[in-house]
Structure 1
Amino acid sequence: MGGFIFGYDTGQISNILLMPDFLLRFGACSSDATLSSASGDCSFTNVRAGLIVGLLSIGTLAGALMGAPIADWAGRRYAMVIECAVCILGFIIQISSTHVWQQFAVGRLVTGLGVGALSAAVPMYQAETAPAQIRGSLTATYQLFITFGIFIAYLISFGTRGFDGPSSWQTVVGIGIAWPVILSTGIMLMPESPRWLVFHDKPEKALHSIARVHGMTLTEARDHPLPNKALAEIQRSVEFERSYTGATGWMDCFRPSNKVLYRTILGMTLQAIQQLTGANYFFYYGSTIFESVGIQDSDVTEIILGTVNFVCTFGGIYIMEHYGRRLPLIIGGVWQGAWLIVFAAAGTAKNPDTDKGIGSLMIASACMFILGYAMTWAPGIWILIGETFPTRTRAKQASLSTASNWIWNFLLAFFTPFIVKAIDFRYGFVFAACNLAGAVIVYFFLYESSDLSLESVDLMYNDPTCKPWTSSRWAPPGYASRNDLAEQDRTKANLAMADEKKGTGSGTTSHDEGHLKVEA
């Protein structure tokens, strides 16, 4: 639901700006403009439209930085409740606007504070709570629901465009209140992050949290090797970080030791490149391209792009879980760069407004680009933000990385119209270069973190014998490979389940041996 709020708020504004009542109330209109003539007699200046759209990104930037101290102080769940309340306040400010466009823009800013904080807290909570075996798939659902939220916003806007008066846009904004209500209510039924609980000296509650994630009661978890192993690993990691670093603060994110600075810069760079892939260029300005082959309805255009983005993200969840993080990002960067070169070259060679074949090629290349993006860079970066950083500074590093995403989101949204006016479709070559650079950066700097616990990821980054391009073969001490790690965990789980079926109870030799293995 956190991703859905993100997507819904992003996807609604492009259609709202075109609604006649919204234009009449907040645009620059001629003296005789009416509701029926608003589309022709009213318009937004670049500055006014840029502020209405872009202030959300400014709010999310500030919210992402605020998300870390809130999540560390209140816990991951209560932080989400606070942030959902901020989102609701922002929606109310927007709905109550009548004729002052600045009020609507401020409402977008306030909503952005909540959305930005959630964009840091939600993937972090998912990564800290999920078992390593499904962490990639679970965290990827954040991106899946971003695309779903965008898609639903398009459909609702399409359905309300025939409404008379302010209900056309107030309905779209007002429905947005439902999503933070669902999240803030539902998250209180979920367990708190076990890593946050251990860090705040609550090991019993942490064990209960781990037990719930594995479908056990607390009593069952006390005698089961897997929850106890997970708890012991978290405790060792937290104790090591405490003894090594002392008090923590924002500056700790920039210390070179233990590759903390390395990972901060890496996270911020990957989030920046996710924006620089050019995906938002197609989502914001795709209607102009589609008009070249006779599709004049911008709502239909956005629904087509939104459908491709949403459906293909399901493939991204599968790919990220079965093929790791590095390989999909490298292939995705090359794939996206190649199709952007096709797109830019076609648009530069001939005018798509007059050449339908070129227009069709550009649409096909745009859809192929979105297919690759939705399967690789879209979900992959959010997964990495949740699992790359050490526990002690994870919230702050996730906030800094997410803030980088929102900075570039704002810069691209605000300056793209000016850049397109200057270089037209050659803009695609710029994005192609960024995609290829992203593939190179992933190869030389990103470590493969799939199938490892968050504590093992930290060990891997600090192993001097492990390099990014060899990291997929790295395994924690005591294991021959990552397959061996998974197989041993499955074996322990099966033995424990067999003991329970036999009714041997907590005092059996098998369980005691399991505890001894964990301690060893």
Structure 2
Amino acid sequence: MALFYAQGVPIGFIAIMLAVLASMGGFIFGYDTGQISDILLMDDFLLRFAQCSTPGDVGTCNFSIVREGLIVALLSIGTLIGALLGARVADVLGRRRAMSAECVIFIVGVIVQITAEHAWAQFAVGRLISGLGVGALSAAVPMYQAETAPPQIRGTLTATYQLFITFGILVAYCISIGTRNVSGSGSWRIVVGIGILWALILGIGILFMPESPRWLAKKGRFEEAKVALARSRGIPTHEADDNFKVHRELTDMRTAIEHESAIQATWADCFRPQNKQLYRTLLGMTLQMFQQLTGANYFFYYGASVFKSVGIQDSFVTQIILGAVNFGCTFGGMYVMEKFGRRYPLIIGGVWQSIWLFVFAAAGTAKDPTQNKGIGILMLVSACLFIFGYAMTWAPGIWILTGETFPTRTRSMQAALAAASNWTWNFLLAFFTPFITRAIAFRYGFVFAACNLTGAVIVYFFLYESSDLSLESVDMMYCDPSCKPWTSRNWAPEGFSSRAELVEQSKAAEAGKGFAGDEESRIEHKNVIANGDEDGVKEVNGNVKGTNGFANEKTKTLRK
């Protein structure tokens, strides 16, 4: 049954639940990201793992730059490896079982961390192992969500991954402030150990959701794909055979897969120039790189240390403020990416973020924030306004694009390469930030400001607008030589004069005006054929021609 309608199309309970549950993968990553900033300042953690000139005196304990960088950044090395392996695992096991297996790996890493006594290397290796699970999830989750979500709300549902990342960061901050005064190792072991709960929720719960219909279709399991489509669209499974939407989407998948099945996909295919494969691979990797170069993780990984250095008394509270802004604004980001598409929000967001990072860096460079309370407050406000823009645009937008930019045959591998780019730059920033900030202090913000502007320019010249299109139609758009990124907002498949008409056609079809839309339409179709009424046949089949434009155009493109 449908919970509500989006653009006239019914949206089922399962579609919402699978997006929310799969997004626990993002929550796990966010939680792991958020916890380390505060843990590095906890007394017991410092006494056990830092270098203390006077044993037992926490006031003399400090992490060397290398040790701090490795503890923070080894998670990212694990995620990089996990993202590359995750594509193959998701293709072999299926999206759901792959996520369950990756949760087990994450749990092993958590256990290694919480059993560390005095060896900082053991804790760092535990983060590396957890990172393997998190990285593999980062490849599987957006792909699963994009392949399963209805096109009308695909952006919103895929953006829940980023929403849950921000939620995980906020929850980590809140738990950390609650445990910081716990005596002994409980202050940090509780924070780390709770991560097992989140992995269990995802690992077990995802098994009750439908498998990706595109993965099932790729394996030749079309009947199961039809049932999975019906479940995620809020359509009773016994009505799947006669439903217009299921019929159309399954036809699109079958058309694409029948051609692609003759060619075994390899990693080399991701770098072939044909059909803009290389173009899309590099675009996905570049956008993920610039998501890291926005500077958001500068605040999430080292925020507690940053705001302690600007004279703010309780940096834990400051982290919660930033986390709350990040989480709250991501709801707005889900609306923005669905309402205004992908290109405009990313361009505007890049400019907005650049402005506030410039203010942050200029204020911290002009005066010593530890001696000037007003400067410290200005820096906090500018950081919040930067996070506001990031959470509304670049944070959810890049993960949405990772799920919907690539063709079915190579989607898992290209999504893995894009995620690997994210984790590579995540590691570089996490490891080298302590070195850089020691050398140039708050002028680091100028570097991020320039990167945000560069990212906005890249979006304008290279990114195609993919909102409101099925994944198969997105592939057709990238293969259309007459379509340019800056004109792509108006592109529509053959049979439609505009993307607006495409949306209206879907509404009409779902309302029962299209092929197999309702019983009346089917009876009328049969009657005109039986009576030999050629004009009637043409009129009733008018919708069939329009709605099958996706499959027809796809077939033509592939034959070329």
Q: TM-score, normalised by structure 2?
A: 0.88
Give the counterpart letter for 1:16 in structure 2: I
Contact 2:270–2:277 (CA under 8 A) maintained in structure 1: yes
Q: 1:383 aligns with which of 400, 404, 408?
A: 400
From 266, 277, 281, the counterpart of 1:264: 281
Q: Is the 8 A contact 2:509 2:515 kept in 1?
A: no
The answer to whether 1:480 aligns with 2:480 is no
1:253 matched residue in structure 2: 270
- How far apart, in 1, do the equivalents of 2:212 and 2:204 lie? 17
C-alpha distance in 2 between matches for 1:16 and 1:336: 28
Q: What CA distance in whole angstroms lies between the structure 1 residues aligned with 2:299 and 2:221?
A: 47
Question: What amino acid is the match of 2:229?
Answer: I
* Counterpart in the other structure of 1:186: 205
Change (3 A) 1:216 1:49: same
Residues 296-311 of structure 1 mapped to structure 2, 5 A cutoff: 296-311=313-328
Distance in 2 separating the partners of 1:177 and 1:16? 17
Supply the distance in 1 between the matched residues of 2:314 and 2:210 (Cα, whole angstroms). Answer: 45
Structure 2 runs not aligned, ≥5 long: 1-23, 530-539, 550-560
**Offset, 1:357:** 2.8
Rounded to whole Å, the distance in 1 between the matches of 2:361 and 2:367 is 10
**Counterpart for residue 356 of structure 2:** 339
Q: Deviations over 1:63-90 (max 9, x none)?
A: 0001010011111111101101101111
Deviating more after overlay: 16-25 vs 200-209: 16-25
CA shift for structure 1 position 29: 2.6
Partner-residue secondary structure (3-state), 1:281: helix
Aligned position for 2:468: 451
For 1:75 and 1:288, the matched residues in 2 are separated by 41
Q: 1:9 aligns with which of 15, 25, 32?
A: 32
Deviation, 1:295, is 2.6
1:432 aligned partner: 449
Describe the superposition over 1:227-262 as per-residue Cα deviations: whole angstroms up to 9, x where unpaired.
01000011111223334xx11111111111010000
Confirm or deny that 1:135 pairs with 2:154: yes
> Which residue number corresponds to residue 144 of structure 1?
163
The match for 2:433 is 416
TM-score (norm 1): 0.94
SS for the counterpart of 1:201 is coil
1:98 aligned residue (91, 99, 117):
117
- Give yes or no for the alignment of 1:25 onto 2:44: no
Equivalent runs, 1:118-517 vs 2, <5 Å? 118-243=137-262, 246-287=263-304, 290-291=307-308, 295-495=312-512, 509=525, 516-517=544-545
Structure 2 CA distance for aligned equivalents of residues 371 and 353 of structure 1: 25
Does 2:81 correspond to 1:58?
A: no
* Equivalent-residue separation in structure 1 for 2:397 and 2:268 (angstroms): 27
Structure 2 CA distance for partners of 1:114 and 1:510, relative to 1, 3 Å: farther
Q: How far does residue 49 in structure 1 lie from its aligned partner after superposition?
A: 1.6
Q: Distance in 2 between matches of 1:470 and 1:456?
A: 16
SS in structure 1 of the partner of residue 170 of structure 2: helix
- Secondary structure of the residue aligned to 2:265 is coil
| Shift in alpha-carbon separation, 1:510–1:283, aligned structure 2, 3 A | farther
Q: Please report how far the alpha carbon of residue 104 of structure 1 lies from its aligned counterpart in structure 2 after TM superposition.
A: 1.3
Q: Is the 8 A contact 2:512 2:521 kept in 1?
A: no
User: In 1, distance between residues paired with 2:92 and 2:309?
Assistant: 53
C-alpha spacing 1:482/1:510, structure 2 compared with 1 (3 Å):
farther
Aligned residues of 1:83 and 1:114 also touching (Cα < 8 A): yes
User: How far did 1:31 drift?
Assistant: 5.3
Is the 2:312–2:376 contact (alpha carbons within 8 Å) kept by the matching residues of 1? no
CA distance change for structure 1 residues 497 and 186 in 2, over 3 Å: closer, same or farther?
Answer: farther
Quote the offset at 1:132 in angstroms: 0.6
Kindly provide the amino acid, as one letter, of the partner of residue 301 in structure 1: T
Following TM superposition, by how much is the alpha carbon of 1:294 offset from its aligned partner in structure 2, in angstroms? 5.2
**1:374-418 superposed Cα distances (whole Å, 9 cap, x missing partner):** 100000000000000000110010111101011111111111121
C-alpha distance 489-510 of structure 1, shift in aligned 2 (>3 A): farther
| Identity over aligned pairs, percent | 65
Indicate conservation of the 8 Å contact 1:63/1:113, yes or no: yes
Q: Structure 1: any 5+ residue segments left out of the alignment?
A: none
Residues 427-436 or 360-369, more deviating: 360-369
Q: Amino acid of the residue matched to residue 465 of structure 2?
A: E
Q: State whether structure 2 residue 128 is matched by structure 1 residue 115.
A: no
Read off the aligned partner of 1:86 and give its amino acid letter: I
Alpha carbons 1:289, 1:363 under 8 Å: kept: no
Larger mean CA deviation between 442-451 and 179-188 belongs to: 179-188
- Number of residue-to-residue matches in the alignment: 513
Go from structure 1 to structure 2 and tell me whether the alpha carbon gap of 1:288 and 1:169 turns closer, same or farther (over 3 Å shift): closer
Residues 244 and 514 of structure 2 are in contact (CA less than 8 Å); yes or no, is this contact kept in structure 1?
no
Query: Matched residues in 2 for 1:325 and 1:159: separation?
Result: 38
Q: 1:447 to 1:124 in 2, by over 3 A?
A: same
The answer to whether the 8 A contact 1:120-1:399 is kept is yes
For the structure 1 residues 26 and 471, does the alpha-carbon distance in structure 2 shift closer, same or farther, using more than 3 Å as the test?
same
Contact 1:224 1:496 in 2 (8 A): no
String of CA shifts for 1:349-378, please: whole Å, max 9, x gaps. 222222333332222211111110110000
Determine helix, strand or coil for the equivalent of 2:283.
helix
Q: Which residue in 2 is equivalent to 1:42? A: 61
Q: CA deviation at 1:167?
A: 1.6
Q: Is the 8 A contact 2:514 2:544 kept in 1?
A: no
Q: What's the CA shift for 1:486?
A: 1.3
Q: Which residue of 1 aligns with 2:14?
A: none
Equivalent residue of 1:449, what SS? coil
Whole-Å Cα distance in 2 between the matches of residues 354 and 493 of structure 1?
A: 64
Question: By how many angstroms is 1:497 displaced?
Answer: 10
SS in 1 for 2:261: helix
Write the distance in 2 (CA, Å) between the matches of 1:321 and 1:86. Answer: 34
User: CA offsets per residue over residues 395-451 of structure 1, 9 Å max, x none?
Assistant: 010111101011111111111121122222221111111111001000000000000
Contact 2:102 2:133 in 1 (8 A): yes
Q: Secondary structure at the match of 1:491?
A: helix
Q: What is the DSSP-based 3-state SS (H/G/I as helix, E as strand, rest coil) of the residue aligned with 1:146?
A: helix
Read off the aligned partner of 2:134 and give its amino acid letter: V
Deviation of the 1:226 alpha carbon: 0.9
Higher alpha-carbon deviation: 304-313 or 98-107: 98-107
C-alpha displacement of 1:121: 0.4
